[in-house]
Structure 1
Amino acid sequence: MQIEKSLAPIKPLLDTWGGLDGDKISWHPEQYVDFTSLSTSEVNSWYSDTVTRTLESFSNFVRVWEVSFGTDYSRENEAKPMLLKWEIGTSYEDYIKKIIGEIQSYSAPIYSLGMKVDLFVYVRTSESPSHPIQGWIRHFGEFKIWGGPEVGQEPGIFFEIGATLFHRSYFRYGDNSELYSLNSHLLTDALHQWERHFGSLCREGG
């Protein structure tokens, strides 16, 4: 199913899950890459490939709205940090192409990259307080990626979200089973796709 990426974020009610008022949970694959022998273009190609495969894996669950990346502080005279934001009403596909192009053409080896994402999930809203609707919600998920000659052989690729929406219940808010049943498979399906690209995932928190 093709997910509409152009819709504006909705404001969720935090009735049975509390938003970010609770634990966070993250997943990451174990990766081993010998960055010490890679050129700038090879390091940045690893980043562009990692971003591309990650966004393909999560295409039915997340939408990027802000990307930031840069090189190690010792090289910042070679290339300044980048910040790329997507605006509602502009082409999402063009935005993703711009991200990949800027990563590949960056003039120094990238050291870290962050992606803030919207989640396409079921929540209740003030307009629909009794019946969950599916839409994009902001400020509840992000990816963190790092790796480069200074890191050595163990890059990091992390996906982090607020955990409470994906719990059956939370002690401060009670029964969240309805939203859990609607959303848990969306998260699980995306993680399974990511796992196919990068191997088994480790989980932290939540």
Structure 2
Amino acid sequence: KDKQVAMIMDIIEHPNVGEVKNVALDQFKALGNDSSIFTKRQGFINEWHLIGPFPNQNGEAFHKAYFPEEKVDLKSGGEFNGQKMEWKDVTTEAIPARISMSEYFDQNQFVTAYAYTELNAPKEMEVQLMFGTNDGCEFWVNGERVFEVNMPRGAEVDGDKVPVTLKKGKNTLLLKVLQEGGGWEFVVRIADKDGNPIDLNEVKLLD
């Protein structure tokens, strides 16, 4: 079993095996192991809270502040148009760690939704946010808008790169993903200034 695990780990961490990684991840998990360590080791944020959907007819959601932009309350959620909305906990162990919002929201055309997570940095760190969204997005770190784009596009891994400073301790990340038609997803990871993935087993994701 130890040899089998070692072989699977080699496949997962090899840079040129593409989607074979996810088959190996499934095998690693089937043997009773936590495969998310590899997802995090490559800097992918794989734990998120989602809330939505909100209207986005004719692109109206871009720069329109729905309640998650005012306050994130993971326990109580919020209210929109007289309806109670709650945060959904979402995780993935896939590499890359794509989150398909269409899997979590029945209404998934001409809408928007928010993804929220927290990072616990051991010290102040200059890092890069490397991400892709389908379609456009607005991104906040510690309440500061660091990126925005409003256009139809696919979610390219590492397609957008934004330098940010993580403070020591808790850091908040809020991502609004706009949706027109077709696919609706995002993928985010953290890298150092040179683009090398930061191991998120060490820079902890918070509940």
Instruction: Answer whether TM exceeds 0.5 for this pair.
Output: no
* Higher-RCO chain (CA-CA 8 Å, sequence separation at least 6): 1
TM range (shorter): under 0.3
Greater helix proportion: 1
TM-score, normalization: structure 2? Answer: 0.25
Greater strand proportion: 2
TM-score, normalization: structure 1? Answer: 0.26
